[in-house]
Amino acid sequence: MTETHSPYSGVFAAVLTPQDANKDPDISRMTQHSQWLLANGCDGLAILGTTGEANSFGLKERIGIIEDLVAAGVPADRMMPGTGCCAIPDTVALTKAALDAGVKGVLMLPPFYYKNPSDDGLFAGFSEVIQRLGDDRLKIYIYHFPQMSAVPFSYDLIERFLKEYPETIVGMKDSSGDLENMAGAAEKFPGFAVFPGSDELLLPTLRRGGVGCITACANVVSAQAGALWQAWNAEGDGDTVAAMHEPLTAARNVITKYPLPPALKALMSRHTGDAGWLNLRPPLMELSEADKQALFAEFDGIGVTLPKAA
């Protein structure tokens, strides 16, 4: 087996961030949801990512979410918080808070405001964060999502990271939707933990060296994704695993017809009977009633059953 410095593998949900009526983080709902996910197929929780509306929350709020979840009993060693910000001091402060709370790894966007930065600039930015933290506990998973950040990570840059920081930069979430990019990275950099960010690419990436997935739809199909991961590890590839992958692909295809956080919150609101799940921070908005009903009808047609609500 290729040596890896990644402490994480398996199915991670890109966890939704519930909000109260004032659109402030609702730690009680988020704790219940996190524990429900861990009890129903998830190996870990990627909080404060795109699906978690992280960039709609301020630095103090994000630190508070991490600390409050841990205080409420969500295991820190099962969390992979998103800590990448545009400003290096914010990234350092948020990452330090995560490490101090007990997490094993963080998911880090590049500084994404300035477009078309050079590889030298990105390398310098990550190096600055690593040097300022100076913490041997630090494990970084880079977050490759060019559709949103408009700042991709090239293979040349990854190779440079791994040469300079092999025990610190240990993996990647690839939400590009480009199978060749993510599977190619897993093949080119053995031991570098590659997580696809799309449910329909879980099995194809596993077949080429991936280590799991970090996906939005795992908020509602965690049980199915977790069962596939367990079957893959127990039985390897085959018809059974391929059949288990079909509903994940179908669910993704239905849900991504709509903005992901509103669609997933609508599904969770219906499942729990809790209208509070519908709260979102602008510019994200609740789905129209017509869109909700269309989403529910198509999702129900897949035949996926959610475990009993927390």
Q: Which residue has the higher pLDDT, 4 or 1?
A: 4
Can you tell me the mean pLDDT for 112-131? 97
Using CA of residue 156, residue 159, residue 14, residue 131, what is the dihedral sign? Answer: negative
Catalytic residue among 113, 155, 257, 305: 113
**In 10 A of CB 146, how many CB atoms?**
17
173 is catalytic: yes
User: Before 283, cis peptide (omega within 30)?
Assistant: yes
**Confidence band for 309, pLDDT divided at 50, 70 and 90:** confident
d(CA 106, CA 79): 8
* pLDDT of the residue at 4: 87
Can you tell me the mean pLDDT for 22-36? 98
DSSP 8-state secondary structure symbol assigned to residue 82 = B
Q: Which fold has domain 10-238?
A: TIM Barrel (3.20.20)
Catalytic residue among 17, 31, 50, 83: 50
Please determine, for residue 69, whether its predicted confidence score (pLDDT) is greater than 80: yes
d(CA 256, CA 147): 14
Catalytic residue among 104, 139, 173, 265: 173
226-230, Cβ contacts within 8 angstroms, sequence gap of 24 or more: 226/10, 226/11, 226/40, 226/41, 226/42, 226/43, 227/41, 228/202, 228/203, 229/10, 229/11, 229/41, 229/43
Q: Strand 212-215 and strand 193-196: pairing? A: unpaired
Catalytic residue among 143, 205, 215, 265: 143
* AA identity, residue 230: Q
Q: Is 271 exposed, middle or buried (0-12, 13-18, 19+ CB in 10 A)?
A: middle
Question: Where are the domains positioned within the chain?
Answer: 10-238
* pLDDT of the residue at 2: 66
**In 10 A of CB 189, how many CB atoms?**
19
Helix (H, G, I), strand (E, B) or coil at 187: helix
Q: What is the pLDDT of residues 8-21, one digit of tens each?
A: 999 999 999 999 99
Mean pLDDT of the chain: 97
Can you tell me the mean pLDDT for 84-92? 98
DSSP 8-state secondary structure symbol assigned to residue 75 = -
Crossing angle of helices 27-39 and 218-235, in 10° steps, is 30
What tokens does 280 get?
């979102």
Please determine, for residue 32, whether its predicted confidence score (pLDDT) is greater than 90: yes
50 is catalytic: yes
d(CA 101, CA 66): 7
Please determine, for residue 1, whether its predicted confidence score (pLDDT) is greater than 70: no
